[in-house]
Chains A and B, each alone.
Chain A
């Protein structure tokens, strides 16, 4: 068996931290002999005689013959392994100590420590998985939060690829029709071909848009939902943050303008990550440091996915109609009427008149009243429509999103052209181009720069 790569890599395959078992994985031409040197089973078996895919009991043995750990070992012979190379796995006791010592022993024996994602890269380069699957593995490695790993799992199983390949096969069928019209010009196939193009361009771009809408949710799921908390100075923004996080991360003082910078905290609600950004109060200020904070606050609002507007219900001056009017209208907005234990100067009906699209909640950040309702509201706003159907395919990778957008806009341009009466055979250019762009997602068009770019992400510094 010959291999694409000369060296043998080793790494700890299980997540760091406490756990029952840790797995040390080895891949490459020397995997079998490394297994033999590092592991001693009941019988001494030569590397070439190790049975494939059979778990054996034994011990990890150090350079001086000392026992490092009790272990199970298994060898997957090429090409039937994760990387399509010979792969050995050593299952040792959990916790990083045994795994680290085992890894160190393998390095001593000649293995190289794997770069992040390198096993996956080998799987890809050896043709075992395609680009979208490889990227999904990378996403899974980076993902924190349960929903994120579910989205990554989705891609891994190839459901994204199947969807894109379906787009591609529909485009291929369409191209066949356009080709037939060009090959048999006497048969007058142009008009029926045009109708097919219009229908199919429309149908496909619609389906792509559904997928693209899910991209926003997927980004939320992977990167966390950027949630801007803002309002007039001293309206209680930091208290709201603390209410959500249950800790005194932000300084809560009664002096207006205490929070001079934006603070960011991560909150996990039912598997979904929120990046809570506490901003300085929005008001005109003479204080330079605070002024920078106010600018940032405006910036944060621009970039946030969700807006939380905190209003002191006891202070009529807090509800500035100008600020309300300047808020972006395309983002979910939650208005919190804070300090409901004091007298109420601002009523929810007042807010509903000015900001009809907002969801309004009354809370008391100090006592914790309304906290559950607040968490529910955030979760619902973040997931939007997708929270309904948890099985939906989520498009989570930014490169994929961009390519899909490009394909979608090519089809929309083609749709316009088809309807404007352009000669049908020209539409073949649109179809080819869209097909090509989609192929960059699944990797079934082969462009070197795409592969290079993805490799750059696989292995930092290599």
Chain B
């Protein structure tokens, strides 16, 4: 096929789902001339599955994307129809924000943000080839014969590569929601030496709201006032609409158990990866056999629409099994399916070929982000898109990359898992994956990340100023709490009821530690300053969980020591016979950056790590003897 040169760019983004959108915006905002293409411009930022942003562990990702200067949180704040902070009865690490999305509103918001971006061109086209010339990335071509020269490419094709949808017996060459699949790019990737595999995921049926008896369900209203995702949003002025809660029951579970052999994901469960698998309803039935019910949330897809998404019934069971199971549920006895559930099968890459910037280790400038890396979920995709977009732009400017580690952010956990562990099924962010989750809370994402986002040039000055103000108020509050005492004679009855008495003198900070809120204490301790809610929340968490948080911080310190022990890129694992064969193979394939990353590769045992540690020491001594400078802490080598 002949191509004409249609343009020249710094970065070309292929795909404009949740990863592509963040990648395109980040790259353009950091000054790279960016072209973003997708098969159909109507599908920009499409939510092909659940009508929600955030939720358990994912809410953390949204806040982190926002703290770095990404768009997802702002878009959710501008368009969601309901906001709830989940699990407030549990520890602060588990609190997570969830927004009920309006799918159409969200898409049009994102499209207009993209269209307003100066450095960014949008294009409806199907990418055909990624071309290299003289060992360097050179261009992206389209199926219509255009050639765009470029220095970097971000592949964010989601589930579109060679996509096939499966609805019962019906198999179609199709993307999600009947959109066109991308049939050409896979071949080009294979030609570039990118290893591909097939993944499968699915979405539950949608029900007709008129066929649901909502009177048998529990109304779930949003929080008043709604808590925003973005650290830049002060308040949300929106009329919130309710969701509805019902439950599965023993009959539902019996139907699922009777048909368990028909669940394609079931075999994966028996292999057993502990708690770490996607929580479809049949998974829950297997995992929690003693429980006689599981919650089911009925969620509107758009404000005022008829289509209802059945959250909690995510399932890979055949349609008829789902139909029977749904009809056992209270309120859904007569439900009518409006859109049938389907599974989708697609090409994704083996993400261990990527480094922590999401760039291909062997092809400079070629990035991958989102579901094409084997993840699932909008938030996971957005987080990767942001990191790929930032790093593509930074690399072009010759700047240090932005790499987040497992103790920086859920994003760090996500990417480290992707490039280190070979996941056999779509990777979903879960709380348990974050070892340091007590530190990686959604409430302090700005304190963890905004300075990094500002340093690379994405987070605005105003964002940084807001963070500094929050920290300033927090410091003032903590200082005042440690100094002032409650006016005991003014204690209100509800504090007396909670065990205080008017004859004792109480230190303000101790009362907050023991579970009173900052505002309750301030009511009887007027010396405390009035501070913004976000600083209040930090003060309360800081005082209540200080012991645990500081222990977590020392675990993080320990973790970073291994992280900082660099493994040279040219390290010859095959020459180390003391390593077990499997470890040698895995280490050679993944080429970890550090001893820490090596220790997380499945198939590499602690004994292997000890061998590596000793081999590193010997290498260091040998190099030092030859006059090469080696940093004694990290093992980083500087040739003289």
B514-560 residues with Cβ-Cβ distance < 8 A to A are 545, 548, 551-552, 555, 558
Q: Is the CB of A425 within 8 A of B94?
A: yes
Query: Whole-angstrom distance from the CB of B297 to the nearest CB of chain A?
Result: 9
With A425-B90, A426-B548 as known contacts, state yes or no: A186 contacts B295, CB within 8 Å: yes
Q: Mark A13-48, 1 if CB is under 8 A from B, else 0.
A: 000000000000000000000000000000000000
With A126-B578, A425-B93, A446-B599 as known contacts, state yes or no: A185 contacts B610, CB within 8 Å: no
| Cβ contacts A to B, 17 pairs, < 8 Å | A2-B575, A4-B611, A4-B614, A127-B579, A130-B607, A183-B275, A184-B288, A186-B295, A422-B91, A424-B90, A425-B90, A425-B93, A426-B93, A426-B438, A439-B606, A446-B562, A446-B599
Further 6 A-B residue pairs, CB within 8 A, beyond A1-B577, A125-B610, A423-B92: A126-B611, A184-B284, A429-B548, A443-B607, A444-B607, A446-B610
- Chain B residue at minimal CB-CB distance from A439: B606
What are the 9 closest A-B residue pairs judged by CB atoms, nearest first? A423-B91, A179-B432, A444-B606, A182-B431, A446-B609, A185-B87, A180-B275, A425-B91, A127-B607
Task: Provide the bound-state CA to CA distance between A163 and B609, in Å.
Answer: 22
Query: Whole-angstrom distance from the CB of B166 to the nearest CB of chain A?
Result: 27
Task: Provide the bound-state CA to CA distance between A190 and B613, in Å.
Answer: 40
Q: Is the CB of B577 within 8 A of A176?
A: no
Task: Provide the bound-state CA to CA distance between A433 and B559, in Å.
Answer: 12
Q: Is the CB of A78 within 8 A of B607?
A: no
Task: Provide the bound-state CA to CA distance between A444 and B606, in Å.
Answer: 5
Q: Is the CB of B611 within 8 A of A127?
A: yes
A436 contacts chain B at the CB level, 8 A cutoff: yes
Task: Give the interface size bracket for A toward B.
Answer: 35 or more
Q: Is the CB of B606 within 8 A of A2?
A: no
A399-444 residues with Cβ-Cβ distance < 8 A to B are 422-426, 428-429, 432-433, 436, 439, 443-444
Q: Mark B55-70, 1 if CB is under 8 A from A, else 0.
A: 0110000000000000
A84 contacts chain B at the CB level, 8 A cutoff: yes
Task: Provide the bound-state CA to CA distance between A149 and B57, in Å.
Answer: 53
Q: Is the CB of B555 within 8 A of A436?
A: yes
Q: Is the CB of A127 within 8 A of B578?
A: yes
Q: Is the CB of B432 within 8 A of A183?
A: yes
B218 contacts chain A at the CB level, 8 A cutoff: no
Query: Whole-angstrom distance from the CB of B574 to the nearest CB of chain A?
Result: 9
Q: Is the CB of B618 within 8 A of A4?
A: yes
Q: Is the CB of B606 within 8 A of A426?
A: no
Task: Provide the bound-state CA to CA distance between A182 and B575, in Å.
Answer: 43
B257-295 residues with Cβ-Cβ distance < 8 A to A are 274-276, 279, 284, 287-288, 291, 294-295
Task: Provide the bound-state CA to CA distance between A344 and B276, in Å.
Answer: 78
B608 contacts chain A at the CB level, 8 A cutoff: yes
B561 contacts chain A at the CB level, 8 A cutoff: yes
Task: Provide the bound-state CA to CA distance between A305 and B104, in Å.
Answer: 79
Task: Provide the bound-state CA to CA distance between A436 and B284, in Å.
Answer: 30
Task: Provide the bound-state CA to CA distance between A189 and B431, in Å.
Answer: 15
A3 contacts chain B at the CB level, 8 A cutoff: yes
Residue total for B at the interface (Cβ-Cβ under 8 A): 54
A292 contacts chain B at the CB level, 8 A cutoff: no
With A4-B618, A429-B552 as known contacts, state yes or no: A79 contacts B610, CB within 8 Å: no
Q: Is the CB of B577 within 8 A of A182?
A: no
B363 contacts chain A at the CB level, 8 A cutoff: no
B171 contacts chain A at the CB level, 8 A cutoff: no
Residues in chain A near residue B432, CB distance under 8 A: 179-180, 182-183
A187 contacts chain B at the CB level, 8 A cutoff: yes
B57-87 residues with Cβ-Cβ distance < 8 A to A are 57, 86-87
Q: Is the CB of A187 within 8 A of B288?
A: yes
Task: Provide the bound-state CA to CA distance between A112 and B611, in Å.
Answer: 23
Q: Is the CB of B611 within 8 A of A125?
A: yes
Q: Mark A171-202, 1 if CB is under 8 A from B, else 0.
A: 00000100110111111011000000000000
Q: Which residues of B contact A (CB under 8 A)?
A: 56-57, 86-87, 90-94, 274-276, 279, 284, 287-288, 291, 294-295, 312, 430-432, 435, 437-438, 545, 548, 551-552, 555, 558, 561-562, 565, 575-580, 595, 599, 605-611, 613-615, 618
Residues in chain B near residue A439, CB distance under 8 A: 606
Task: Provide the bound-state CA to CA distance between A428 and B91, in Å.
Answer: 11
A206 contacts chain B at the CB level, 8 A cutoff: no
Query: Whole-angstrom distance from the CB of B553 to the nearest CB of chain A?
Result: 11
- Chain A residue at minimal CB-CB distance from B275: A180
Q: Is the CB of A424 within 8 A of B91?
A: yes
Task: Provide the bound-state CA to CA distance between A445 and B600, in Å.
Answer: 12
A451 contacts chain B at the CB level, 8 A cutoff: yes
A447 contacts chain B at the CB level, 8 A cutoff: yes
- Chain A residue at minimal CB-CB distance from B293: A187
- Chain A residue at minimal CB-CB distance from B580: A127
Q: Is the CB of B291 within 8 A of A432?
A: no
Task: Provide the bound-state CA to CA distance between A124 and B578, in Å.
Answer: 10
Query: Whole-angstrom distance from the CB of B516 to the nearest CB of chain A?
Result: 15
Residues in chain B near residue A182, CB distance under 8 A: 90, 93-94, 431-432, 437
Q: Is the CB of A445 within 8 A of B606?
A: yes
Residues in chain B near residue A428, CB distance under 8 A: 437-438
Residues in chain A near residue B610, CB distance under 8 A: 124-125, 127, 443, 446, 451
A286 contacts chain B at the CB level, 8 A cutoff: no
A284 contacts chain B at the CB level, 8 A cutoff: no
Q: Is the CB of A125 within 8 A of B555?
A: no
Task: Provide the bound-state CA to CA distance between A311 and B93, in Å.
Answer: 66
Query: Whole-angstrom distance from the CB of A2 to the nearest CB of chain B?
Result: 5
A69-104 residues with Cβ-Cβ distance < 8 A to B are 78-79, 84
A330 contacts chain B at the CB level, 8 A cutoff: no
Query: Whole-angstrom distance from the CB of A417 to the nearest CB of chain B?
Result: 8
Q: Is the CB of B431 within 8 A of A183?
A: yes
With A444-B606, A446-B562 as known contacts, state yes or no: A176 contacts B275, CB within 8 Å: yes
Residues in chain A near residue B275, CB distance under 8 A: 176, 179-180, 183-184
Task: Provide the bound-state CA to CA distance between A451 and B612, in Å.
Answer: 12
- Chain B residue at minimal CB-CB distance from A84: B578
Residues in chain B near residue A78, CB distance under 8 A: 577
Residues in chain B near residue A3, CB distance under 8 A: 577
- Chain B residue at minimal CB-CB distance from A410: B551
With A4-B611, A84-B578, A176-B274 as known contacts, state yes or no: A184 contacts B94, CB within 8 Å: no
A287 contacts chain B at the CB level, 8 A cutoff: no
Q: Is the CB of A179 within 8 A of B578?
A: no
Task: Provide the bound-state CA to CA distance between A439 and B614, in Å.
Answer: 18
By CB atoms of chain A within 10 A, which of B91, B276, B287, B575 has the most? B91
Q: Is the CB of B435 within 8 A of A432?
A: yes
Q: Is the CB of B613 within 8 A of A446?
A: yes
Q: Is the CB of B614 within 8 A of A426?
A: no
Query: Whole-angstrom distance from the CB of A70 to the nearest CB of chain B?
Result: 35
- Chain A residue at minimal CB-CB distance from B554: A433
Q: Is the CB of A183 within 8 A of B578?
A: no
Task: Provide the bound-state CA to CA distance between A180 and B290, in Å.
Answer: 14
Residues in chain B near residue A423, CB distance under 8 A: 90-94
- Chain B residue at minimal CB-CB distance from A3: B577
Q: Is the CB of A446 within 8 A of B578?
A: no
Q: Is the CB of B606 within 8 A of A185?
A: no
- Chain A residue at minimal CB-CB distance from B599: A446
Q: Mark A436-462, 1 if CB is under 8 A from B, else 0.
A: 100100011111100100000000000
Task: Provide the bound-state CA to CA distance between A357 and B608, in Å.
Answer: 54
Query: Whole-angstrom distance from the CB of A90 to the nearest CB of chain B?
Result: 25
Q: Is the CB of A433 within 8 A of B555?
A: yes
Q: Is the CB of B437 within 8 A of A425?
A: yes
Task: Provide the bound-state CA to CA distance between A61 and B28, in Å.
Answer: 79
Task: Provide the bound-state CA to CA distance between A125 and B294, in Å.
Answer: 51
Q: Is the CB of A448 within 8 A of B430?
A: no
Residues in chain A near residue B605, CB distance under 8 A: 444
Q: Is the CB of B437 within 8 A of A4?
A: no
Query: Whole-angstrom distance from the CB of B334 to the nearest CB of chain A?
Result: 25
Q: Is the CB of A451 within 8 A of B613?
A: yes
Q: Is the CB of A187 within 8 A of B284?
A: yes
Q: Is the CB of B575 within 8 A of A432?
A: no
Query: Whole-angstrom distance from the CB of A407 to the nearest CB of chain B?
Result: 14
Task: Provide the bound-state CA to CA distance between A422 and B549, in Å.
Answer: 13
By CB atoms of chain B within 10 A, which of A79, A190, A429, A443 has the most? A429
Query: Whole-angstrom distance from the CB of A131 to the nearest CB of chain B?
Result: 8
